[in-house]
């Protein structure tokens, strides 16, 4: 993987096409900008693809599954057996997000990039880089070669999906302990203390939350990740799911394919990708703002506005799935032909 070449080839969105899409929205018989962020999202997709004719007929949700050695520090209610159980349910199409995507023409593709179980469950794509990460309180999560391999895995999956005609990618994750690694990554990249970023994940007690904060502080102190090098941060205090998601966003941007973020973990990975290449931001859409404390800060740093606010904190790409009907609704309006001229009324004008 020639990362330097890839980064130089990521195009970014076309502002002229963005303006064309906005102009089309303004021609429709409704108050200007009245669909808010949905109008902006469609225009952003148009700019990325280089055409105001936006279609999202083919899409896929990739759920990256991996385990994190830091669970040994009691930072989660659950252990790695739950990662395997949920991944198995995803492969059998009976996890929560499988039901959420039913009828949305959006297959769910779970991917094992670093689970701790003996083998990827049936129905889960096996792209395992290594079997889980090490405990970040004792040393780096992985070595840089493994981190780069996970990034390449995500990149290749996004690029392959785009080559096969995918119009929209959705991203999700499953990995016990990954709210800890995400908070650690964001603590470094945002230069903020863990206490301002760390939430209770799937439901920690006060004592558990204290252990989680202590683990993050110890991991950063021991490993001293370089905030100017996002790959170093992922290597030392991140996880294989985060690294693969980072690569997935690089691959989506490289392929001019828009991608929907989910919650905290995907936002942390997206910030890594944007720090590696700022043009990646043009490919990203924020589905919602997770209830985890760090999520809003990550979205603010990414300069992304969420399309939905419902206090979601499930993971698995559930937030991304939840906004698909909203995007489909917006596109029905966008392609309706219901212009001011068509219905014989005077068009609204921008007055300021």
Asked whether the beta carbons of 265 and 242 are under 8 A apart, the reply is yes
Other CB atoms within 10 A of residue 156 CB: 16
Cα angle value 194/200/206 (rounded, 5°): 90
DSSP letter string over 99-152?
HHTTTTT--EEEEEEE-SSSSPPTTSEE--SSSS---TTTS-SS-HHHHHHHHH
The closest alpha carbon to 111, from 158, 66, 60, 64, belongs to 64
Q: What is the DSSP letter of 172?
A: E
DSSP letter string over 13-82?
--HHHHHHHHHHHHHBSS-TTTTTHHHHHHHHHHHHHT-S------EEEEEEEE--GGGGGS-SSS-HHH
The two tokens of residue 172 are 């999700």
- HEC assignment per residue over 201-251: CCCCCHHHHHHHHHHHHHHHHHHCCCCCCHHHHHHHHCCHHHHHHHHHHHH
Alpha carbon separation from 287 to 29, 72, 125, 177, 231 (Å, rounded): 26, 32, 24, 22, 25
Inter-axis angle of helices 264-276 and 240-254, to 10 degrees? 60
Residue whose tokens read 């952003």: 44
User: Can 84 be counted among the known catalytic residues?
Assistant: no
Asked whether the beta carbons of 325 and 104 are under 8 A apart, the reply is yes
The closest alpha carbon to 321, from 219, 168, 114, belongs to 168
List 84, 152, 173, 316, catalytic entry: 316
The two tokens of residue 280 are 């990646």
- Residues with a known catalytic role: 316
């Amino acid at each position: 993987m020639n990362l330097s070449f890839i980064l130089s080839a990521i195009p970014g969105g076309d502002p002229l096409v963005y303006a064309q899409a906005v102009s089309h929205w303004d021609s429709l018989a409704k108050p200007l900008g009245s669909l808010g962020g949905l109008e902006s999202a469609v225009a952003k997709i148009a700019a990325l693809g280089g055409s105001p004719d936006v279609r999202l007929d083919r899409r896929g949700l990739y759920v990256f599954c991996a385990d994190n050695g830091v669970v040994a520090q009691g930072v989660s209610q659950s252990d790695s057996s739950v990662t395997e159980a949920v991944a198995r349910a995803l492969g059998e199409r009976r996890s929560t997000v499988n039901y959420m995507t039913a009828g949305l023409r959006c297959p769910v593709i779970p991917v094992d990039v670093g689970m701790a179980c003996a083998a990827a469950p049936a129905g889960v794509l096996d792209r395992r880089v290594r079997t889980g990460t090490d405990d970040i309180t004792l040393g780096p999560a992985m070595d840089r070669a493994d981190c780069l391999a996970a990034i390449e895995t995500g990149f290749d999956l996004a690029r392959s999906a785009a080559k096969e005609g995918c119009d929209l990618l959705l991203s999700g994750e499953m990995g016990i302990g990954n709210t800890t690694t995400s908070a650690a990554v964001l603590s470094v990249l945002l230069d903020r203390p863990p206490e301002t970023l760390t939430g209770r994940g799937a439901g920690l007690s006060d004592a558990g939350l204290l252990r989680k904060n202590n683990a993050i502080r110890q991991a950063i102190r021991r490993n001293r990740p370089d905030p100017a090098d996002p790959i170093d941060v992922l290597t030392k205090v991140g996880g294989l799911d985060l690294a693969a998601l980072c690569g997935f966003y690089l691959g989506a941007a490289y392929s001019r394919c828009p991608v929907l973020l989910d919650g905290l973990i995907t936002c942390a990975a997206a910030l890594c990708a944007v720090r590696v290449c700022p043009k990646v931001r043009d490919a990203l859409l924020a589905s919602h703002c997770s209830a985890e404390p760090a999520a809003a800060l990550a979205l603010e740093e990414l300069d992304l506005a969420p399309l939905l606010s419902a206090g979601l904190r499930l993971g698995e790409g559930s937030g991304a799935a939840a906004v698909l009907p909203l995007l489909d609704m917006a596109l029905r309006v966008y392609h309706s032909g219901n212009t001011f001229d068509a219905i014989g009324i005077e068009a609204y004008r921008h007055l300021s």
